[in-house]
Structures are given as structure tokens and as C-alpha cells.
Amino acid sequence: MKPLSDCHLYAFVDTAYLHGRAPEDIAQQLCDGEADLIQLRAKQSSLEEIRRMAAALHQITQQANVGLVINDHPSIAQEVGADFCHLGQEDFFKVGQASRLPPSAKTAWEGETPGLRFGLSSHSPEQARRAKEAGAAYLGVGPVYATATKPQAKPVTLEYVRWAAANVTPPWFAIGGITLQNLDEVLAAGARRVCVVSAILNSQNVVSTCRAFKERLRAR
């Protein structure tokens, strides 16, 4: 895959939004739409189902030179050869049995899945600092807007995006409720990379919607 610094559109194969479509078909459409990263998120699936989907998606993303991210399951990510595993901070720090900054968490992570890179969600400046010190390859910054993907999460608003633009050095992706209608204000706040779930997966044409996001991001 290309360097993270050159990745701008982070898309998803989220089983909650497949609507009967095959995950492999959606992954191929996202690749055709020029997504830079694709995350497999399957909250309600069994480990064996996730393993099978991950292996199938890895074949597709490898051929397209697109990065594959596995949500929540570092052992599966490592097993199939994915580029990253993505975790919420509470899950990552649980690995090290620490409520504060590693090294304990990072050491535990590296001992369990050596060489696997990880991304972390963040919802505040303090969490962004923790993620950076933990060695995260990239950060998610959000949810910027209310989102059905995580209805219980309080939006961090564009204020956190502005803070991230001024203070976060690892690559970071704004996430949460981002659509083609509000993308310009997210970019105006300083974001140069975005994660998009429902606005792409619920669209009538995944490929063209994906390309529309990518074109707007390129224009920045």
C-alpha cells in the first residue's frame, strides 16, 4: 500500500451496512472508487466469519494496492497479513492493563502481535496525546457529527478537528457523520483525510460516490 501520509480516503466494509451485498463485492467497489484504506468492521459476526471475510478482502486490497484494516481483532489482522488493526482506546489500553500511557500497553501489544501496526480512535486532545505516545500509526478524530454508526457517541464538533490540525503530527482521519454535503466545512477546519462509512455504503453507486469524495480531497 502507499504511505499513510498519502492516504486521504478511508472507507469501510461494515457488515451493518451491507444490505445483503457480499463484502467482497463492496471491497472491490471501494477499490475501484479509489479508496486508500478499507476497514473491515463486523461487530455482530463470529470470529470465524471475520477471519474468512478478512482473508477474502486481503486478496482484493492487495491486488489494488489498498491498505486493509481489521477492526477489533489484532490476531486476525496479523494472521491474514492486514496492514493495520484499529482499536478504540479502551480496548488498546486494556491490552496493557493500564489506564494511562503505555509503555506497558505497547509492550504487551508488541509481544502478542509483533510488527502489526495499529490505529486508535480519539475523542479529545488528551486521548490524541495518549494515542501518539502509545505509538499509533494513525488516529481517528471524531465523531465530528452525530452518526448512526455510533449513536451513543457525543459529537466532538469541528473544534476538535481544528485542534487536531494544529497539534496532531501522526496522520489522522476525521470521522463521524461526514458526507459530501458537509465535507467542505470539515476540510476548512483543517482535515486532509477522512473516514466515511454510511455516506458511501448507503449510496446508490458506491464507486461513483467514493470517487466524488476522493476528487474533493485531491482538490485540497
Tens of pLDDT, residue by residue, the chain (220 residues): 999 999 999 999 999 999 999 999 999 999 999 999 999 999 999 999 999 999 999 999 999 999 999 999 999 999 999 999 999 877 776 644 433 434 444 554 555 666 789 999 999 999 999 999 888 999 999 999 988 877 777 899 999 999 999 999 999 999 999 999 999 999 999 999 999 999 999 999 999 999 999 999 999 8
pLDDT digits (tens, 9 = 90+) for 21-62: 999 999 999 999 999 999 999 999 999 999 999 999 999 999
Residue 179 exposed, middle or buried by CB count within 10 Å (0-12, 13-18, 19+): middle
pTM summary value: 0.91
- Tally the domains of the chain: 1
Residue 63 exposed, middle or buried by CB count within 10 Å (0-12, 13-18, 19+): exposed
What's the pLDDT at 52?
98
CA pair distance 122, 87, nearest whole angstrom:
10
What's the pLDDT at 220?
82
Long-range contacts of range 203-209, CB-CB < 8 Å, 24 or more positions apart? 206/26, 206/29, 206/30, 206/33, 207/29, 207/32, 207/33, 208/33, 209/33, 209/180
What's the pLDDT at 115?
74
* Owning domain of residue 172: 4-219
The domain that holds 203 is classified in CATH as 3.20.20.70
